[in-house]
Structures are given as structure tokens and as C-alpha cells.
Amino acid sequence: MLLKVGDLARRTGLTVRTLHHYDEIGLLTPSGRSEAGYRLYSQADVQRLHGIQTMRQMGLALSDIGELLGGEGVAPERIINQQIRALDQQIGQATELRARLSMLRDGLMAGAEPDMGNWLEALALMTTYGKYFTSAELKRIFENWSRIEADWLVVKDQVRCAMDRQLPPDSPEVQALAYRWMALMLHWMNGDLDLLERWGHMFRTEPSTHGRNHAPPGDMIEYVEAAIKLRMELLEKYLTREDLRRLGHVPHGEWAALEERVQQLMARALPPHHPEATAAALRWDALFNTLACHSAALRQKLLTASANEPLLQAGSPLSVPVRAYLQAALAHARPPASAVA
């Protein structure tokens, strides 16, 4: 399979002008020409282009790259290993890209020759991320992914289930999922709303990123964003962007454990002034303080928002009966403090 220069440019995200320049300086000379004189690129040319882009990502000048390549060709294994080292040490370009490169390398080691599509997809993904983020930002994003990966996979599956059941965005179950989704995203981005908004914009703008490496597909993004929009419109009546940046992260498992614990206390018919109820209420209070980043002012804003907006209450990680029980227990433990998650 041979590609014309326009096809190669379109499929890699590079410009025709860039490819012409590479040809003019002898860095990437197409293997052939059509009868009409059009440049034609082979799979070997695409592999060489991947090597050029790899070393560009590592900060090398075109003249230095030309000397390294030296006109003698570069083994695909060497190029891929250079890319992986660069990702690990310098920029963490993308988890998806690293996984694809690893698969390519493993295939080569096993004697399989990767097809042109693998090289083209890797090049295109590198270009797409670079349109929205600096290398330093990508490094932060992908290094922080391990913070949320386990919870994220669970939430994504639950959102798909809600979509299959055709639950509306304002239903309590979907609002609870929107709460978890928002909390995970903010925790992933260290509360950096600008970074989070650009990440969301990239996914809305670039369909090629959908469904990659556990990323949500386009229909899921639309569904969750509709639910989140409802919550954000209400939260912004009470909280500023700076408030949102300051919110702490409480893992969902902490809320779930507290919900189960209180359900058991209620099943045993223990009164709110019982010592076990008091302990649960103080645990709730501590979790809420973590959420509010130990700020009394932010805590009060969250309390007011939840008290005034039923939809925000619907998305709470704690059920209404459990919250009522804990409020009563906390009033006994430390009047007149209260908390709402």
C-alpha cells in the first residue's frame, strides 16, 4: 500500500508543507512517484516518519535527526524503544500511545511486522494531544491517572448501565453518578478546572480520542455532561470557581462504607445518641471537613447549596434516611454542628 502526500498528511495530523520540507532537506524522501509525479510513501517511509517524530518529541533538531538516521535506516524496535523511554522520562505523552507502541514492539520481537495503520494511529494521537496540552501538562495528567483508575472503571460501567436503562439525567441514580464522575475528574486534575475543561473540550472536539484506553465513548460523554450541567448550574449559585478548585477528594468507598455502617445501626434500631451512632456521626463530620478542605466558609456554602437544592441532595453519596440519622446523631455529639455530603 502506497500513500499520496495528502493522504499521509491527513492521517497523521501533519501538514503537506511539513512533509514537503522533510523531502526537500532529505529527511524523508518518498519511495516512489506516481505517473503524474505525486509523491508516494511506503510502509517503510511511515516507519521512518515515526522515528523522525519520536526524536522531534524528544527535542532534537531536524539536522540532528538527519545525522542520527544517517540514511542507513533505523530498526523499528529501536524507534519504539526510544519512544517509550521518552514517554517514561520526559513527557508521558499518552497512555494510549505507550500501550500501542508496546504492542508494536512486542509484535516485532515476535517476528510480526506491524501494518501501516498502527504507525499512522500512533502518529495521529501524538499530534492530537499536542494540539491541546504542553508536554508538562500531559506528564501531570497521565502520572495522576493511577489515582482514579480503579474507581473510574467502576463508574464508567455504572453509567453505561444507566444509559441502557434510559434513566434521565435528573434522576437520583444518574445524579449520584454525576457527583462521582465530577469528583474523580477534579481529583485527577488536582482541582485544575482549566486543565479539566481543556480535556473535556478535546474529547468533544476530537472523535478519534473516544473510547481509547478506557476513555468514554461519545454518547457516554454527552449523557454524563447533561447530568453534570444540571449540577453545575446549581452549584455555581453558591460556589465560585475558586471554591470548586479547593474541594478535597473523599474516595467513594469511604462514603459507601459509612452508608452501610449507618444502615446497620438503623436496622438494629439504635437511637441517634447511642455511642456507635455518635462515632458514625463524627466520622461523617471528618469526611465532610476533608471535602470542604477544612474551610468553615466553604463548608457552609456546601451545606447551604445542599439544603436549598433537592437535585444536589439527589446526587449525594449518602441516602436521605442515613443523612437524617447522622444529622440527629451529630446534634447529640457536637451541637449545633451539621454536615451534608
Q: What's the confidence (pLDDT) of residue 98? A: 60
Inform me whether the pLDDT recorded for 226 exceeds 80.
yes
pTM of the predicted protein model: 0.59
Average pLDDT over residues 22-37: 89
239 vs 138, higher pLDDT: 239
Q: What's the confidence (pLDDT) of residue 338? A: 46
Average pLDDT over residues 94-111: 50
Average pLDDT over residues 143-161: 91
109 vs 163, higher pLDDT: 163
Average pLDDT over residues 6-23: 90
133 vs 298, higher pLDDT: 298
Cell of 227: 447530568
Handedness of CA 328, 330, 333, 336 (dihedral sign): negative
Inform me whether the pLDDT recorded for 24 exceeds 60.
yes
189 phi and psi, to 5 degrees? -95, 15
Average pLDDT over residues 306-328: 90
Q: What sections of 87-169 are H helices per DSSP? A: 95-109, 116-130, 135-143, 149-164
Cell of 202: 478535546
Q: What are the DSSP E strand ranges found in the chain?
A: 3-4, 32-33, 39-41
Inform me whether the pLDDT recorded for 137 exceeds 90.
no
- The DSSP H or E segment spanning 63 is helix 62-69
Inform me whether the pLDDT recorded for 239 exceeds 90.
yes
Query: What length does the chain have?
Result: 341
From residue 150, give the alpha-carbon distance in Å to each of 74, 105, 182, 222, 250: 39, 27, 15, 22, 14
Mean pLDDT of the chain: 82
Q: Starting at the earlier edge strand, list the strands of the sheet with 3-4.
A: 3-4, 39-41, 32-33
Q: What's the confidence (pLDDT) of residue 315? A: 84
Inform me whether the pLDDT recorded for 341 exceeds 60.
no
Q: What's the confidence (pLDDT) of residue 110? A: 46
Q: What is the DSSP string of 292-337?
A: TTT-HHHHHHHHHHHHH-HHHHHT-SS-HHHHHHHHHHHHHHSTT-
Burial category of 139 from C-beta neighbours within 10 Å (exposed 0-12, middle 13-18, buried 19 and up): middle
8 Å CB contact between 303 and 338: yes
